Amino acid sequence: MSKGVDVGGKSSESYLDPRVAKTIERLDLKAQFIVKGFMHGLHASPLQGFSVEFSEHRKYERGDDPKDIDWRLYARTDKYYVRKYEAETNMTGWLVVDSSASMGTEYPGETTKFDYAISLAAALCHLMIHRQDPVGLVAFDEKIVRSVPPKSKRSQFGAILSTLVNLRPSGKTDFAAALTQFASTLKRASLVMIFSDLLGDPEGTLNAIYRLRHSGHDVILFHILGEAEAKFALKGDLELRDPETGESVVVDAESVGDYYREELERFRERFRREASNAKFDFVELDAGTPFDKALLEYLTARAARR
């Protein structure tokens, strides 16, 4: 029998509605399962550099003291790495989750974008807490709707999970306003991990990310779509409804499919280009992507910049 997730130093069952506690417990187990699958894939993959990053090392740079070189690691990899000091390893992470109505759009048999986002956020939270890095949470629609200040202690994992499972996707999206509000609260350079379907003004979204980068923050943008949205392998007449405005239109799926896929590719290509220019990570996912693969995508993007 599980004792529940540790929330604020207490078992979650000690004061939460039992149904909520069970939901938290399921998300906790899911996060651990994702991380275990990811770590298994990590060791089985040819991407050996990742295990170095998670072993508190970094590449040797000119000016580093040669005495800090890990010669055992050099013998295995034929590359120079130095051990990180505590000041280098403790990076504050922020999980920034889009909780607007569009994230809760449901397609038969699919995981919603919102459920996918909070599961991936929970797994990354688990990783950061395991590394004893402070991690916090922000959820937004047109503005910040929930916030958990960053901490590194074990109870923080439960505090973030309990906030995630109590979120409900609703409201319109104003990515730029919410991210600008969030950026104004940051006191030190942080790792900002954003989970969103990016339905909104791309110009405002990119400008908000540029401001974060200009202020010295590291940004990973997870663009999450439903499988149906990503592939648009649909047929027949469809009623497409905007979950945030309620407006709808009926279209013939086959006649608009090619146009839709071209526009999506154009949209994503712009973000890829801007990510390369502004040096932030743009990770493309659909809700059918296995979570461990999503984590490998995340680390692949980070490794490519180092």
Largest CA distance in the chain: 68
Percent of the chain with pLDDT over 70: 71
Q: Which CATH architecture has domain 6-37+91-304?
A: 3-Layer(aba) Sandwich (3.40)
Q: At what angle do helices 155-165 and 113-130 cross, to 10 degrees?
A: 170
pLDDT digit string, tens, across residues 80-111: 877 665 444 567 899 999 999 999 987 777 78
Q: Which residue has the higher pLDDT, 257 or 272?
A: 272
β-partners of residue 59 are 81
pLDDT for the residue 117: 93
- Residue boundaries of the structural domains of the chain: 6-37+91-304, 49-83
Task: Give the pLDDT mean for 274-298.
Answer: 86
pLDDT digit string, tens, across residues 134-156: 999 999 999 999 999 999 888 89
Residue whose tokens read 């220019």: 277
Question: 60 vs 47, 80, 90, CA distance in Å?
Answer: 19, 5, 19
Return the structure tokens found at 151: 């901490």
Instruction: State pTM to two decimals.
Output: 0.74
Q: Which one, of 125, 296, 105, lies nearest residue 196 by Cα?
A: 105
* Whether pLDDT at 157 is above 80: yes
Are the C-beta atoms of residues 179 and 208 closer than 8 Å to each other?
Answer: yes
Residue whose tokens read 């154009």: 266
- CA dihedral sign, ordered 93, 98, 104, 105: negative
Q: Which residue has the higher pLDDT, 241 or 168?
A: 168
Count CB neighbours of 130 within 10 A: 12
